[in-house]
Homo-oligomer: A and B are copies of this chain.
Amino acid sequence: MVQYSTDRLDASFAALSDATRRGVLEQLGRSDASISELADRFHMTLTGMKKHVGVLEQAGLVRTEKVGRVRTCKLGVSRLAGETAWIEEYRRLWAARFDALDEIVEELKQKEMSDERRQGK
């Protein structure tokens, strides 16, 4: 498999394992937003939203800027390149494993048919 920083993959996949956090990323993909706008949008307390944003920030998926009293959230530098590479490699392995199974099933079928013919069924 392609080698990427283990900690980075751990942090990103953990950050993506929550529907609200994925929703925040989708929202920030459309436009920047303050923590309180995000809290409103996802029907959550400010404290709850701050925690989610903190997890996303740790994973490099979000960065925040404080101007005056408002903290604005934007998409971070991570474009999930390592995560995409890992999943693509997994899908390649998965397909190869299942293709191999298909071939075995096909061989067994052929063998059975030729056995039947030999027995004059």
Contact = CB atoms under 8 A, between A and B. Distances in A.
A9 B19 contact: yes
A119 interface: no
Contacts of A93: 26, 29-30, 75
Contacts of A91: 79-80, 84
A87 B80 contact: yes
Interface string A89-117: 01101111110000000000000000000
Nearest to A19: B6
A90 B9 contact: no
A87 B83 contact: yes
A86 B17 CA distance: 12
Interface residues of A, number: 34
A95 B79 CA distance: 8
A25 interface: yes
Nearest to A98: B75
Contacts of A12: 17
A35 to B, nearest CB: 19
Contact of A97 (B16, B29, B80, B97): B29
